[in-house]
Amino acid sequence: MPRPRRRFRPRCSYHVTVRCNNRAFDLRSREARAVVLDALRRSLLKYSARLHGVALMSNHVHYLLKTENPSDLPRLMQWLNWYTAITLNRLLGRTGHFWEARYHAVPVPDGDQRHVLNVLRYIHGNPYAAGASPGLRDEFTNYGSHSTGEDDGLTTLHPQFLRLGGTLRECSIRYRRFCRQYRPIRKPGPSPRSANWGRRILAGVRSEMDRKRRFASKPKTRDHDQSLFTPARRPEARTVRDDSPAQQRPKWVSAVKSPLRGGVPSAVAPVPETTPRSPWLVDPIREHCRRFWRVNGLRRGTIDDVSLA
């Protein structure tokens, strides 16, 4: 049976959620989240879309997106998920589907200010609700651009957010005051029917797996035939002699004193090691992510303006 076709309405932003396959924590690393931010920046330019809210979690991502043409949103999400799946599979050395299923999109009417602000606060409060942050200020959300009014290079402030005050500073102050009232709601667990399904069938298999995991034999660290009071023999070091002209010592090297050997003449003059330059130093991904993290992250010398802990 084919999947029902989605219908996207005009004059609406969309709260989009996409989750990693098998709910794996494949977005834990900073590099993986940097790839997602760079792909998001490319997709916004490609489809002339606006990003109002974003939260990068360890196994899922939240977006609040707005496109000029409602039919462009599925194209944007198809390109974004395709690009990030290929790039992250190459980065993490994995294969197969990276994202679990179809993205979940909920319309948010642009004229409903309360709805828009609640969705923004829910997106920004995801790290706090998951226990990953003591407050709403987190470098993997764009809460900092809303609470300070700074431009992070990705965020476009929603018109309903700009209606909170006459100036951008007043809007930020009132939004911070609104976020102080946030209390995460605990999600309900699985239904009793889904929790009991297969419990009797898998009872024996689960107990056997738990027994193997708990009482598994540890690898042997030493030979049982060897006496406990006899020290183990160390392998004899073999000396390899090479009399080739390339390995012969020049006469001038004997006069060179190595600082590592206390002034004793060494056979080889010390050569300073040159470390190769990291590709991150010239990668444009790092430049854009550095700006995003600088605006939204908790910088040194600042206090989290909404500390909910």
| 103-117, 142-156, 249-263, 294-308: least confident range | 249-263
pTM (2 d.p.): 0.71
Quick: pLDDT tens for 247-260.
555 554 444 444 44
Q: Per-residue pLDDT averaged across 138-162, rounded?
A: 93
Residue 99 pLDDT exceeds 60:
yes
Residue 12 pLDDT exceeds 80:
yes
Q: Using 50, 70 and 90 to split pLDDT, how confident is the model at 212?
A: confident
**What is the Cα–Cα distance from 306 to 30, expressed in whole angstroms?**
24
pLDDT at 288: 74
Query: In order of start, what are the domains of the chain with their CATH numbers?
Result: 12-184+284-296 (3.30.70.1290)
**What is the Cα–Cα distance from 199 to 201, expressed in whole angstroms?**
6
Q: 254-271 burial by CB neighbour count: b if 16+ within 10 A, else e?
A: eeeeeeeeeeeebeeeee
**What is the Cα–Cα distance from 22 to 159, expressed in whole angstroms?**
37
Instruction: Provide the mean pLDDT of the chain.
Output: 80
Residue 262 pLDDT exceeds 60:
no
Q: Per-residue pLDDT averaged across 110-129, rounded?
A: 95
Q: Using 50, 70 and 90 to split pLDDT, how confident is the model at 218?
A: low
pLDDT at 303: 47
Give me the sheet containing 49-56, strands edge to edge: 49-56, 60-67, 12-19, 104-109
Residue 45 pLDDT exceeds 70:
yes
Return all residues near 129 (Cβ < 8 A) that are at least 6 apart.
184
Residue 287 pLDDT exceeds 80:
no
pLDDT over 90 for what percent of the chain? 49
**What is the Cα–Cα distance from 242 to 125, expressed in whole angstroms?**
66
Residue 127 pLDDT exceeds 60:
yes
Identify the residue with better confidence: 264 or 184: 184
Quick: pLDDT tens for 163-211.
999 999 999 999 999 999 998 877 766 665 655 666 667 767 777 777 7
pLDDT at 221: 52
pLDDT over 70 for what percent of the chain? 70
**CB 15, CB 64: distance < 8 Å:** yes
Residue 5 pLDDT exceeds 90:
no
